[in-house]
Amino acid sequence: MFFDPRYFLYISPAIVLMLWAQWRIRSAYARGMQVPAGLSGAAAARHILDAGGLFDVAVEETHGHLSDHYDPKERVVRLSSDVYHNASATSVGIAAHEVGHALQHSQGYLPLVVRNAAVPAAQFGPMGFMILVVIGMLLQSGPLIMLGLAFYAGLVVFQLVNLPVEFDASRRAKRLLVQMNIIDDHSEGSAAVSKVLGAAGWTYVAGTLESILTLLYYVSIFTGGRSSDDDRA
C-alpha cells in the first residue's frame, strides 16, 4: 500500500505536469522580475485595495519565496519580500492576484465561500484517511476503509473548488492592473503578468490532478484491485 510502484504509475501524469508547471513558473517569475512596472508589489496592492474600498485590509511583508497569500481571518494581504519591494511585472501581477482574493472575500464570491467551508476537509482529510484505513485494515472493516476514502475525497473536492477561485483572482488581477494603469495593455508588462499568473494556475491544476489520481489509486486498491488479487489467489 505505502510503497507500491503502481502508485507512481497512477500519478505519473500529475508528476510530469507539476514538473513542467514548476519549471514554467520559475522561468516566468524570473523573466517578469526584469520587466519594470510603475509601482512596487506593495504599492500596487495598496492602490487596488483602496480603489475597491478595502481600506481595512492591510498589506504586509512575509518571509519565504512564493509565500504570497491573502489571510481572510486577519484580512491581510501578505507578500514575499521580492514581491513586496520590487517594481516589476511579476511583483504587481502576484500582488494583484492576492488582492483579487481580498475582493472575492469582500463581495461574497460563492466559490470562495464554498472553498473556505471546505478547508477543514483539506486539512484533516488525509490524516483521517490514513487513520481510518489503517484501523479498517487491522479490523478487516470495509466500512471504515470506505469512510477513509470519503475523507480523502474531501481533499479532492477542496482542490476542485479552489481552481475557479484561483483563476478568477488572476482574471481580476490582469483586468485591474490595466484599468488602473499600473501596466499597459498589449505591452511587455501585460504579457509578463499573464505568463506568471498562467504558470501559477498550472501548478494548481497539477496538484488537483495528483489528488484525483491518488484517490483513484486507493479506490482501485481497496475495491476492484484487491478483489482481483484475492480471486487469483
Share of the chain above pLDDT 90, in %: 74
Q: Average the pLDDT over 148-158 and give the result.
A: 92
* Residue among 17, 10, 25 at smallest CA distance from 206: 17
Q: Measured in Å, how far apart are the chain's first and last C-alpha atoms? A: 18
Q: Examine the pLDDT at 24 and tell me if it is beyond 90.
A: yes
pLDDT in tens, 69-122: 999 999 999 999 999 999 999 999 999 999 999 999 999 999 999 998 888 888
Mean pLDDT of the chain: 91
The residue ranking higher by pLDDT, 232 or 102, is 102
User: Rounded to an integer, what distance in angstroms lies between the CA atom of residue 128 and that of residue 132?
Assistant: 6
Catalytic residue annotation: 98
Please give the DSSP secondary-structure letter assigned to residue 35: S
Contact 40, 86 (CB under 8 A): yes
Q: Average the pLDDT over 31-53 and give the result.
A: 96
Q: Examine the pLDDT at 230 and tell me if it is beyond 90.
A: no
68: which 3 cell numbers? 504570497
Q: How many CB atoms lie within 10 A of CB 227?
A: 10
219: which 3 cell numbers? 479506490
Share of the chain above pLDDT 70, in %: 94
Is pTM, for the whole model, over 0.85? Answer: yes
Q: Which of 34-38, 43-47, 126-130, 174-178 is the least confident region? A: 126-130
The residue ranking higher by pLDDT, 13 or 126, is 13
Instruction: Specify whether the backbone of 181 is left (phi greater than 0), alpha (psi in -120 to 50) or beta.
Output: left
The residue ranking higher by pLDDT, 110 or 233, is 110
Residue 89 has a pLDDT of 96
Residues 6+ positions from 16 with CB-CB distance below 8 Å? none
Residue 3 has a pLDDT of 65
CA atoms within 13 A on the CB side of 38: 10
- Counted residue by residue, the chain has a size of 233
User: Rounded to an integer, what distance in angstroms lies between the CA atom of residue 88 and that of residue 188?
Assistant: 11
Chain center to CA of 12:
20
Residue 62 three-state SS: strand
- State the DSSP string of 173-186: HHHHHHHTTSS-TT
pLDDT in tens, 182-219: 998 878 999 999 999 999 999 999 999 999 999 999 99
pLDDT in tens, 132-147: 988 988 898 888 989 9
